[in-house]
Chains A and B, each alone.
Chain A
Amino acid sequence: MAKRNNIWANIDWVLILIFLLLVFMGWLNIYAAVYNEEFQSIFDTSQRYGKQLIWIGAALVIGFIILLTDTNFFVFFSYIFYGFLILLLFLVLFFGREINGAKSWFIIGGFGFQPSEFMKFATGLVLARYMSTFGFKIHKIKSLAVISAIIFAPIVLILLQNDTGSALVYFSFVLVLYREGLSGIVLFFGFLIAVLFVLALIVSNLTLGLILLAAVLLVYLIFSTKQHRVTRVFLIYAISLGLFFILNFILNDKFEVSVVIAASSILGSLVVMYLSISKRLVNYGLISLIFLGSVLFTFSVDYAFDNLLEPHHQVRINELLRIESNPQGAGYHVNQSKIAIGSGGVLGKGYLNGTQTKFDFVPEQSTDFIFCTVGEEWGFAGTTTVIILFLFLLTRLVWLAERQRSGFSRIYGYSVAVILFFHFMVNIGMTIGLMPVIGIPLPFFSYGGSSLWSFTILLFIFIRLDASRLEQF
């Protein structure tokens, strides 16, 4: 009894308050988004807001049950949760229902259930369990392999369901790994790859090749203390460039200029790397290696983009990068969404007075595009409130994670924070045109039982763990 009292006393009520606030605001906005004069009762369960109320009630029950559960339960059952959900992800491929092009739903008795939503907390638990084991060293090959397996198993299965958005969420665990000691270089490379990917699609290969070449030579110039070495590197690239141009000239301009530059960059980089290894000048070799990788990556992006991505993803990425623009086409969603948010002004049009969301201009307005309703009806005041609430939630989660004594709780806390962060970033970014349209919900806001429950479980397990932070286990 004393122990239980202890738990209620140690619960972080701030987190619960933010949770309740977000859920309540979400529900109000779902009502506004599907508001229809025919069904005015906010409790009408034939409408989405009525159903959401049921989901919210259930979520509160789930949260309460989690708070009553012993912390050890989550530790011990983490692998079982994970295994069970992997099985469900696998089964959904065969027995699932396809909704909006993604085969990720079980329909049981009229209710939809999306295993990929629940996979998030299970993955978080397993990562926390594995990484908090005694003697765990993140830079060991075996550790990296296990971590990769834990993260990539759901990614692969969810990608097979054709639900790219939900799969991408799992990449957010990189931030957890970073916190736990993964080299910053991994983050840097991830960032570099993302930037190159975007640049490769926007800028022509030729321009990008030249920019990279200039950048790498600039790096040599800035960081090298030995002038003659830089000159030598310059010379190697220049000779290689000249060689390939002459060769192409002999071949009667068979290749495009961009190909020639790429080939000469590769040759130049290989020569520089060979020389730097033999003379033990590791930094020189490393810069050339990055350069080489960048060039290869750039050229492979176009190939991958044209051959590996689905047409609707291509269109959405093109739309985001403004390569193609067709207001009635793929960019339609984003345009309508921006119009809805933009028309809100400083204070919004007032609750239930949104015209854009009311008349179905914005697609998926109660789920992925719920933020539009906030923007239109509550204006800049409303959108900043929501963003600040989320930032507060995220920083509080990090803060609380850091105060945990056990590695398990800390790692799990970070997992919660980065998953919520990823959803927050992609969802809101998408509605204001800063991110491609990949359909993932805004946590606690978007309509839907599966997503609300999974986020509730995700958060409340951490609240429960945090409440027991003083116990040793």
Chain B
Amino acid sequence: MNVYSKRKFVIIAVFVVIGLIFIVSLFRLQVLDSAYKQYATNNVLREEVQFAARGLIYDRKGKLLVYNKTAYDLKITPQDVGQFDTLLFCSLLEISKEDLEVGIQKAKKYSWYKPSTLVKQISPESFAVLKEQLYKFEGFHTQSRTLREYSSSAAAHALGYVGEVGSRDIERDNYYKSGDYIGISGIEKTYEKQLRGVKGTKKNLVDVHNRVQGSYRNGQEDIPAQVGKNITSTLDLDLQLYAEQLFQNKRGSVVAIEPLTGEVLAMVSAPAYNPTLLVGRVRGNNYSKLVSDSLMPLFNRSLQAKYPPGSTFKVINTLIGLQEQSINLNTRFACFGKGTTPIRCTHDHGSPVGVVEAIRESCNPFLWNTFRSILYKYESSAEGFNAWRSYVESFGIGKNLSSDFPNGLKGDLPSESDYNKIYGEGHWNALTVRSLAIGQGELGVTPLQMANYAAIIANRGFYYEPHIIKEVKNDTISSSFETKNIVPINKVHFEPIIEGMLQSVALNLAVLVKIPEIEMCGKTGTVENNQGSDHSVFMAFAPKENPKIALFVYVENGVWGSRYAAPMASLMVEKYLTGSIATKRKWIEKRMLDANLLNPNQPK
């Protein structure tokens, strides 16, 4: 037998070779390759997101506008789900069996081991019932989230709403993960970064079944969520609510600004919607209802509607005329009433008229003459037009003023090239574009821009960028809000204009608009509308000296400026400055509240 004893070496060689292969493999696996150490960390540590509560929003006087309420997401870990009573489950969660099945399939597709959300935003009331029964359902757990709650239905447009992030948000900012919330419009959107806070993470040690075994290093590496920063808005809740009330059953917009600071006191777009409609599980359904509503409640008129400014624009044209010295305080233009060419006058007043009377009476022929002389002062119409245009632009018209409002528009301010395109170069003059003199034609101005325009007049020639945020707690706000913008018109030119506006209110609109003991300056406007009743426009500020509020009111189909827009503006000013409406003016308030202008074809 010993002939084969040398074969022991072959056998030992086989043993040793296998052993060496193992040692070499293990050396690679354990010493050289660091990837496995990384995998091990991923395997054991499961990071759990700690959601941050959003910051609260207050009004300028510290009244709470937006706060948070708790809701619960029901999570499912398919791996751990056992047999359960689906009927009970569905009735507890108020979902259908089909929804449940689809949800479970989706969760399984996402991951067998990781939890995913099955039912979102369960109300605390439903949760209280569910919690009692949850032990019967293995593989399900809840996670608390915060939802927005509103102290009133006011300022839905300005405040905006919050929704789940979309794939584009996630692409843009890797802070967001699917299922997170993000501000979608209004303050919620502009100040998203301040409001959202910072999500935290909790590191848990988990076993292969994703069962939590305890916190990692006793929570030393956990990052607690940081609550979002509270924001104080410039809005005045009382004024905002009152303005919204006045606008019931009407379409239109109000923007009120504190002239000295550019702070937006109220911002109404009517019809509005109740912000609670866009919170929680009902959001999707309500959103599509609101989108398809013919009154367009989601449309924020104060930022996005481009209205022709109408007669309110006469103020700026007169100011430009004075600054350009095309007219002066001694200038008089004749007015022949309805027989005047090329623009007739719609008001009855004496003739000839000077600057103050022209503003008071809203005299079209005066403005036409002024506009013509501005443009004709220059060698060509185009040159004159450009000079005029740069004045208008300095008032923030044709510029996007909406510094901290999302989706603001810059409006339409026609340029030389626009007219060259329409009429051909050198084939247009002041006469061609004469409607600009009275605020009609190609102009499209947003209520925000108009309110800012009112503030400039109130300030006698300067403005701060209108903004809606007064303070972000422990944070700064944009320095542009403190930058004084001065328009290139001499301060002295404002006084006769303001006098005209004061007289307009005090003399022509005494019955409906004059507020006792308050000197309010205003300018009405009536915007022609081919599709129905004309629109009612009013621009005002008060008091005359040291103005506290400047506002612009636009009432669609309100017929004349003096019929709705002006009285409503006066009520808002009175409310803001005195805190209440004088007894003898209560009937005006009632008339305004009762008016229903939603039918665009109402009799004139």
Chain A residues near B (Cβ < 8 Å): 175, 178-181, 328, 336, 338-346, 355-356, 359-361, 375, 379-380, 383-384, 387-388, 390-391, 394-395, 398-399, 401-402, 407, 410, 414, 417-418, 421, 424-425, 428-429, 432, 434
The answer to whether A343 touches B39 (Cβ under 8 A) is yes
Chain A residue with the shortest CB-CB distance to B26: A383
The answer to whether B1 touches A181 (Cβ under 8 A) is yes
Which of the segments B29-37, B62-70, B267-275, B453-461 contacts the partner chain? B29-37
Given known contacts A338-B36, A359-B208, A425 and B26 CB-to-CB distance under 8 angstroms: no
Given known contacts A179-B11, A375-B30, A391-B19, A342 and B25 CB-to-CB distance under 8 angstroms: no
Given known contacts A181-B1, A328-B113, A343 and B40 CB-to-CB distance under 8 angstroms: yes
The answer to whether A178 touches B7 (Cβ under 8 A) is yes
| Chain A nearest CB, measured from B44 CB (Å) | 4
B:188-218 near A, CB below 8 Å: 205-209, 213
The answer to whether A345 touches B19 (Cβ under 8 A) is no
The answer to whether B31 touches A395 (Cβ under 8 A) is no
- Residue B4 at the chain A interface, CB threshold 8 Å: yes
Instruction: For B40, list chain A residues within 8 Å (CB).
Output: 339-340, 342-343, 355-356
Given known contacts A387-B19, A390-B19, A361 and B43 CB-to-CB distance under 8 angstroms: yes
**Which residue of B4, B37, B112, B208 is within 8 Å of A342 (Cβ)?**
B37
- Residue B22 at the chain A interface, CB threshold 8 Å: yes
Query: Interface 1/0s, chain B 2-22, versus A by CB < 8 A?
Result: 011101101110111011011
- Other A-B pairs beyond A341-B29, A343-B37, 19, CB < 8 Å: A178-B7, A179-B7, A180-B1, A181-B4, A336-B43, A339-B36, A341-B30, A355-B40, A356-B44, A361-B44, A361-B208, A375-B26, A379-B30, A380-B26, A383-B30, A391-B19, A399-B8, A414-B11, A434-B21
Instruction: For A380, list chain B residues within 8 Å (CB).
Output: 26-27, 30-31
The answer to whether A356 touches B43 (Cβ under 8 A) is yes
**Which residue of A178, A342, A361 is within 8 Å of B36 (Cβ)?**
A342
Q: What are the 9 tightest A-B residue pairs by CB atom distance, in nearest-first order?
A: A342-B36, A343-B40, A359-B207, A380-B30, A391-B19, A355-B44, A360-B207, A339-B39, A342-B29
Instruction: For B1, list chain A residues within 8 Å (CB).
Output: 180-181, 407, 410
11 sample A-B contacts, Cβ–Cβ < 8 Å, listed by A number: A179-B4, A181-B3, A340-B40, A341-B30, A342-B37, A342-B40, A359-B44, A383-B26, A388-B19, A432-B25, A434-B25
| Complexed CA–CA distance, A280 and B209 (Å) | 68
Instruction: For A425, list chain B residues within 8 Å (CB).
Output: 18
The answer to whether A395 touches B16 (Cβ under 8 A) is yes
Chain A residue with the shortest CB-CB distance to B39: A339
| Complexed CA–CA distance, A53 and B27 (Å) | 32
| Chain B nearest CB, measured from A404 CB (Å) | 11
Chain B residue with the shortest CB-CB distance to A418: B11
Instruction: For A428, list chain B residues within 8 Å (CB).
Output: 22
| Chain B nearest CB, measured from A320 CB (Å) | 14
| Chain B nearest CB, measured from A423 CB (Å) | 12
| Complexed CA–CA distance, A388 and B15 (Å) | 11
The answer to whether B15 touches A421 (Cβ under 8 A) is yes
**Which residue of A175, A342, A345, A391 is within 8 Å of B16 (Cβ)?**
A391
Chain A residue with the shortest CB-CB distance to B7: A179
Instruction: For A355, list chain B residues within 8 Å (CB).
Output: 40, 43-44, 205
Instruction: For B19, list chain A residues within 8 Å (CB).
Output: 387-388, 390-391
Chain B residues near A (Cβ < 8 Å): 1, 3-5, 7-8, 10-12, 14-16, 18-19, 21-23, 25-27, 29-31, 33, 35-37, 39-40, 43-44, 112-113, 205-209, 213
Given known contacts A180-B1, A395-B12, A421-B15, A432 and B22 CB-to-CB distance under 8 angstroms: yes
| Complexed CA–CA distance, A410 and B2 (Å) | 11
Given known contacts A360-B207, A360-B209, A432-B25, A342 and B39 CB-to-CB distance under 8 angstroms: yes
| Complexed CA–CA distance, A344 and B36 (Å) | 9
Query: Which residue, of B27, B40, B206, has the highest number of chain A Cβ atoms within 10 A?
Result: B40
The answer to whether A178 touches B23 (Cβ under 8 A) is no
The answer to whether B30 touches A342 (Cβ under 8 A) is yes
Instruction: For B7, list chain A residues within 8 Å (CB).
Output: 178-179
| Complexed CA–CA distance, A181 and B10 (Å) | 13
| Complexed CA–CA distance, A391 and B26 (Å) | 15
| Chain A nearest CB, measured from B467 CB (Å) | 52
| Complexed CA–CA distance, A279 and B561 (Å) | 122
Given known contacts A343-B40, A361-B44, A395 and B15 CB-to-CB distance under 8 angstroms: yes
The answer to whether B22 touches A429 (Cβ under 8 A) is yes
| Chain A nearest CB, measured from B288 CB (Å) | 38
| Complexed CA–CA distance, A417 and B205 (Å) | 42
Instruction: For A345, list chain B residues within 8 Å (CB).
Output: 30-31, 37
| Complexed CA–CA distance, A408 and B205 (Å) | 55
**Which residue of A402, A424, A434 is within 8 Å of B5 (Cβ)?**
A402
| Complexed CA–CA distance, A132 and B12 (Å) | 22
Instruction: For A395, list chain B residues within 8 Å (CB).
Output: 12, 15-16
The answer to whether B29 touches A360 (Cβ under 8 A) is no
Chain B residue with the shortest CB-CB distance to A420: B15
| Complexed CA–CA distance, A456 and B157 (Å) | 82
| Chain B nearest CB, measured from A198 CB (Å) | 16
| Chain A nearest CB, measured from B320 CB (Å) | 73
Chain B residue with the shortest CB-CB distance to A342: B36
The answer to whether A391 touches B15 (Cβ under 8 A) is yes
| Complexed CA–CA distance, A375 and B36 (Å) | 12
Given known contacts A359-B213, A360-B207, A384-B26, A398 and B12 CB-to-CB distance under 8 angstroms: yes
| Chain A nearest CB, measured from B6 CB (Å) | 10
| Complexed CA–CA distance, A394 and B33 (Å) | 30
Instruction: For B10, list chain A residues within 8 Å (CB).
Output: 178
| Chain B nearest CB, measured from A330 CB (Å) | 14
Instruction: For A180, list chain B residues within 8 Å (CB).
Output: 1, 4
Instruction: For A384, list chain B residues within 8 Å (CB).
Output: 23, 26
Instruction: For A407, list chain B residues within 8 Å (CB).
Output: 1
Instruction: For B26, list chain A residues within 8 Å (CB).
Output: 341, 375, 380, 383-384, 387, 432
Chain A residue with the shortest CB-CB distance to B29: A342
| Complexed CA–CA distance, A344 and B31 (Å) | 8
| Complexed CA–CA distance, A390 and B22 (Å) | 12
The answer to whether B30 touches A361 (Cβ under 8 A) is no
Instruction: For A342, list chain B residues within 8 Å (CB).
Output: 29-30, 33, 35-37, 39-40
| Chain A nearest CB, measured from B116 CB (Å) | 15
Query: Which residue, of B22, B43, B208, has the highest number of chain A Cβ atoms within 10 A?
Result: B22
Instruction: For B4, list chain A residues within 8 Å (CB).
Output: 179-181
Instruction: For A338, list chain B residues within 8 Å (CB).
Output: 29, 36
Instruction: For A402, list chain B residues within 8 Å (CB).
Output: 5, 8
Query: Which residue, of B11, B31, B33, has the highest number of chain A Cβ atoms within 10 A?
Result: B11
Instruction: For B37, list chain A residues within 8 Å (CB).
Output: 342-343, 345
Chain A residue with the shortest CB-CB distance to B18: A425
| Chain B nearest CB, measured from A306 CB (Å) | 28
Instruction: For A414, list chain B residues within 8 Å (CB).
Output: 11
**Which residue of A179, A359, A375 is within 8 Å of B206 (Cβ)?**
A359
| Complexed CA–CA distance, A166 and B12 (Å) | 23
| Chain B nearest CB, measured from A171 CB (Å) | 14
The answer to whether B23 touches A387 (Cβ under 8 A) is yes
| Complexed CA–CA distance, A390 and B18 (Å) | 11
The answer to whether A339 touches B43 (Cβ under 8 A) is yes
| Complexed CA–CA distance, A387 and B3 (Å) | 31
The answer to whether A360 touches B208 (Cβ under 8 A) is yes
Instruction: For B206, list chain A residues within 8 Å (CB).
Output: 359
Instruction: For A343, list chain B residues within 8 Å (CB).
Output: 36-37, 39-40
Instruction: For B23, list chain A residues within 8 Å (CB).
Output: 383-384, 387
| Chain A nearest CB, measured from B35 CB (Å) | 7
| Complexed CA–CA distance, A356 and B205 (Å) | 10
Chain B residue with the shortest CB-CB distance to A432: B25
Chain A residue with the shortest CB-CB distance to B9: A398
The answer to whether B205 touches A359 (Cβ under 8 A) is yes
| Complexed CA–CA distance, A379 and B37 (Å) | 12
The answer to whether B12 touches A387 (Cβ under 8 A) is no
The answer to whether A179 touches B31 (Cβ under 8 A) is no
Instruction: For B31, list chain A residues within 8 Å (CB).
Output: 345-346, 380
Instruction: For A356, list chain B residues within 8 Å (CB).
Output: 40, 43-44
